[in-house]
Amino acid sequence: MRPSSDRGFDAMNVDVMKVAMLARIRLTKDEADELGPQLNKILAYVDKLSGIDTEDVPPTAHPHDVAMPLRADVVSNGNRRDELLAPAPEVENGLYVVPKVIE
């Protein structure tokens, strides 16, 4: 890929095999030949979008004005530590004891 202007990519010619190698993706020549024009179209569209003036557009996370519903912060099933530790073969200070795996 080669930039042709300071704002993006105009005429693209994606080296699909190089991109696939960098991404550790195994492609056949036929797959690469098929993906090249598709990637060029995607990058041309991104380049087109990068030319849009968004200076006066506020950042948004959702297209509609919505608020996340909040629930009451209430304990629903209480302290079950003893119940959950009961099946463990070995427990120490309320924690599971496991074999050391790193020397």
From residue 78, alpha-carbon distances to 17, 73, 82 in Å are 56, 13, 11
Q: What pLDDT does residue 3 have?
A: 44
pTM: 0.46
Residues 6 or more apart in contact with residue 40 via CB below 8 angstroms? 12, 13, 14
Q: What pLDDT does residue 7 have?
A: 43
Count of domains observed in the chain: 1
Q: CA-to-CA distance for 85 and 29, rounded, in angstroms?
A: 56
| Parts of the chain with a pLDDT under 50 | 1-11
Q: What is the CATH number of the domain that holds 5?
A: 1.10.20
Domain assignment present for residue 41? The answer is: yes
Q: CA-to-CA distance for 9 and 12, rounded, in angstroms?
A: 6
Q: Across the chain, which distance is largest between two alpha carbons, in Å?
A: 66
Domain assignment present for residue 83? The answer is: no
Give 17-32 pLDDT, tens digit per residue.
998 999 999 999 999 9
Q: What pLDDT does residue 62 have?
A: 79
Domain that holds residue 45: 1-53
Domain assignment present for residue 23? The answer is: yes
